[in-house]
Amino acid sequence: MLIKDKAIILGLIKYNDNDVIVKCFTKETGFTSYFIKALRNSKKGKLKKAFFQVNNILNIVTTNKAKGQLEYIREAQPAYHHKSLFQDFDKINMSTFMREILLQSLKNERADIQLYHFIEQEFIKLDQTDFKPDTHVYFLLKLSQFLGFSPQIDTQGNYFDMENGIFSQKIPLGNFLNQKESNLLKSLLGTIFDTNKNIKLNNNDRRTSIDFLLKYYQLHLENFALPKSLPILNEIYR
């Protein structure tokens, strides 16, 4: 059976000299890997190599054998044409970080149309708007809502309990944020629903925020690895 779908390209794995495995998050099937034969030499036809660049958003036609095997993409066309994402150095670095987070976070995610639309819009917004060095901070916060472990802003306290995702009046057992870090998290949480009111972080607060958010992801996602692009972002936007 053939299925029409929409996909965000998150990664490519070279299978042999000409074939590739494409890792995508799609609207209809969630996190999926597809096998594409002879893509590395393909310039014509229904599957052009230029279409399958990371960050691209495609309309695709795929097989669905439902046998636990790699599926195939039969047809593909761009669903959106990036204007600056592949030319802007800052946006390239930020999109790399976002993709690494998604590859770690979505490994077992099934279809979720709201999550798909969120990811798609985040890449389009990065492409269409002026670059903001705090993008990855807000991306992590907003993504955690879809993954089911968003910090609960409606709880009260001076210390954030990292393991239970709540604020506490007493110092929690296990992993927690101190009062300064907890206040910073509260400030961030108060703005994520309105992108026009996002606070601008100084270099130290940005670094602190990323450090505790990534630790939070490690606590709540099994085998979550830190993105390889993190040292580059920390060096550039410090």
**Tens of pLDDT, residues 50-66:** 899 999 999 999 887 65
Average of pLDDT values for 181-208? 83
Average of pLDDT values for 126-155? 94
**Tens of pLDDT, residues 66-123:** 555 678 888 999 999 999 999 999 999 999 999 999 999 998 899 999 999 999 999 9
CA dihedral 56, 149, 145, 53 (to 10 degrees): 0
CATH hierarchy code of domain 89-236: 1.20.1440.120
**Tens of pLDDT, residues 120-139:** 999 999 999 999 999 999 99
Please give the CATH superfamily to which domain 2-80 belongs: Nucleic acid-binding proteins (2.40.50.140)
> Quick one: what percent of the chain has pLDDT higher than 90?
69
Angle at 234 between CA 237 and CA 171, to 5 degrees: 110
The single-letter code of the amino acid at 102 is L
pLDDT-derived band at 2 (thresholds 50, 70, 90) equals confident
- What pLDDT score does 42 carry? 57
Residue 140: both structure tokens together: 């992590």
Whole-number Å distance between alpha carbons of 20 and 222: 27
- What pLDDT score does 194 carry? 57
The single-letter code of the amino acid at 16 is N
Whole-number Å distance between alpha carbons of 27 and 110: 9
Assess contact for 117 and 160: CB atoms under 8 A.
Answer: no
- What pLDDT score does 197 carry? 61
- CA distances from residue 161 to 38, 153, 158, 211 in whole angstroms, order as listed: 50, 12, 10, 15
Q: 61 in helix, strand or coil? A: strand
Name the nearest CA neighbour of 118 among 108, 106, 134. Answer: 106
Whole-number Å distance between alpha carbons of 14 and 39: 10
Assess contact for 71 and 34: CB atoms under 8 A.
Answer: yes
Tokens 């030319």, located at residue: 87
> Quick one: what percent of the chain has pLDDT higher than 70?
92
